[in-house]
Structure 1
Amino acid sequence: MVSEKVSRKTAAKEELLLLLPRIDRVLEAEPAVLRIDADPVMIIGDIHGDSQALEFVIGKRKELNCKNVLFLGDYVDRGPQGTEVLIRLFRLKLEDPDHIFLLRGNHETVDMNLYYGFFEEIGLDQEFLLRISRTYDKMPIATVLSGHTFCVHGGINGAGSIDSIRKEEAFAFPYLWNDPSKRPGLTASIRGSTVKEFGPDIVDGFLETNNLKRIIRGHTALENGYKWWFDGKLLSLFSCPDYVGLGNTAAFALFEKKEIKLFIFGN
């Protein structure tokens, strides 16, 4: 049984490696900040190696007849099927590059993969991890929907212009990591010394600077799969049910005609 599992994982790694050169070319051609002006758009939060959750939302895409799907990052780690999730997502992107969009999350980094499951899943294969990291580096960081809704994995870093966002990890870091807070300003985070929490005043300044109406982000495990902040100016989504045994439900959003409809699934 163990050898069968190892064999399946080896085959999955080989399949993923074959996809990487093609997906690299597609992702590299995309800017750091995507612009999607067509709707509806399905918006999916963290998947974390949960193939069943991913298949559920893909099935909903057909049911809702929604061509555009935006994933907010965190495809691997914590769950056992990160390789399979990446294969499925990359195949979807290659089949329909104009309607499937894959943002980078903080778990699309080597530092996180080393400690939170993906490195172990791929058999502690350093060469493989370094190869996949080159693909991570090509992923876009954020998306603007219909000119007014900013989508990102983590958060924002003050009230600066979105034109300054770059794919390089050092520039992208706050957008992959930062979290909302009720406290005003940019304040310290329990996630680490380089991570910040941003308050309602920061959100107001960011939206005003960039002529935006709201932010949609992932990054945070939530009991009900979603949470509204700041009088509807920010929506947090999480699409991995029963994350590490927490028993949470999951959610995704449908963005259409400036409105957001939430779908709850899982436990």
Structure 2
Amino acid sequence: MKEELSLLLPKISNVLESEPAVLRIDPEATESIMLIGDIHGDLDALDFVMGMREELGCKHMLFLGDYVDRGMQGTEVLIKLFRLKLEEPQNIFLLRGNHETMDMNIYYGFFEEIGFDRGFLLNVSRTYDRLPVAAVISGQTFCVHGGINGIESVDAITKEGAFPYLWNDPSKRPGLSTSSRGSTVKEFGPDIVDGFLETNGFKRIVRGHTALRTGYEWWFDGKLLSLFSCPDYVGLGNAAAFALIEKGELKIITFINRSQ
């Protein structure tokens, strides 16, 4: 598996390098797009959403990051996603999550999965650095793994400055406040969301990053949607969900671990 992934890395790196930090995805009016949250090395979950893509006849897919760690099939997940991206670069979009970093992989499972091979992990992490940070769908929906970093234009987002967008979380407290995730992570309140949406002319934010019992959670009167697409995450018994945007309308589809 490592050999297979190694062969894909130079090709996928070139494709990702050519993409901007913020993707602009504009499906035609007749086309839909699936939004998928954290997968965390769960190949069954990825296979399920791929099967749903076929069932729904959906051309476009946007993954919100966190492909590895926690589950032990991160290598297979990366291979499948990278192959898909190479086969359909205009239809498949991969954002970076906070687990697409070397530091997280060392502590949360992927490093162990690849046999503690530091050189290999370094190669994979170079590919991580090329992943886009966010995406805007049809000029309305801002998609990101973690969150926003205050009231600012999306034009300010860079791949090098990805950290807050991979890590930050929504909060009911107004403003930007401290987070239990660490001193460098922030939580953003409803006023920040309102200001961000207004500044950029967006309707909503869709993000991943948080394990949820039902697989999804709405915040701030429907202005922010949190998705999690890994069922029974680390044995929690949670459901998983993905979203489908069709003709401007957003629908949520939930699923559970098929072995349950």
TM-score (norm 2): 0.97
1:200 aligns with 2:190: yes
Q: Separation in 1 of the partners of 2:178 and 2:199?
A: 23
SS of the residue 2:221 aligns to: helix
The equivalent residue for 1:84 is 76
Instruction: Pick from 119, 123, 127 the counterpart of residue 131 of structure 1.
Output: 123
Q: Distance in 2 between matches of 1:40 and 1:159?
A: 29
Counterpart of 2:2 in structure 1 is 13
**1:31: how far off?**
0.5
- Partners of 1:234 and 1:124 lie apart in 2 by 38
1:98 corresponds in structure 2 to 90
Aligned-partner Cα distance in 2 for 1:265–1:212: 28
Query: Alpha-carbon deviations, 1:215-256, whole Å to 9, x = none?
Result: 000000000000000000000000000000000000000011
Question: Structure 1 residue 237 and structure 2 residue 222: aligned?
Answer: no
Is 1:179 the counterpart of 2:169? The answer is yes
Note the 1:213-224 alignment, pairs <5 A. 213-224=203-214
Does the alignment pair 1:26 with 2:9? no
1:32 is aligned with what amino acid? A
Give, in angstroms, the shift of residue 73 of structure 1. Answer: 0.1
RMSD between aligned residues: 0.5
Equivalent position of 1:56 in the other structure: 48
Q: 2:26 aligns with which of 28, 32, 37?
A: 37
CA distance in 2, matches of 1:82, 1:35: 27
Matched residue pairs, number? Answer: 254
| Greater helix fraction, Structure 1 or Structure 2 | 1
Percentage identity across aligned positions? 76
Aligned to 1:265: 255
SS in 2 for 1:184: coil
After TM superposition, give the deviation of residue 258 of structure 1 in Å: 1.5
Which ranges in structure 1 are unaligned for 5 or more consecutive residues? 1-11
Supply the distance in 2 between the matched residues of 1:61 and 1:28 (Cα, whole angstroms).
Answer: 26
Which ranges of structure 2 fall in alignment gaps of 5 or more residues?
none
Q: Which residue of 2 aligns with 1:256?
A: 246
- Which contiguous aligned blocks of 4+ residues in structure 1 show a shift greater than 3 angstroms? none
Write out per-residue CA displacement over residues 179-206 of structure 1, whole angstroms, 9 at most, x where no aligned residue: 0000000001000000000000000000
In structure 2, give the amino acid aligned to 1:220.
Answer: T
| Alignment of 1:74 onto 2:63 | no
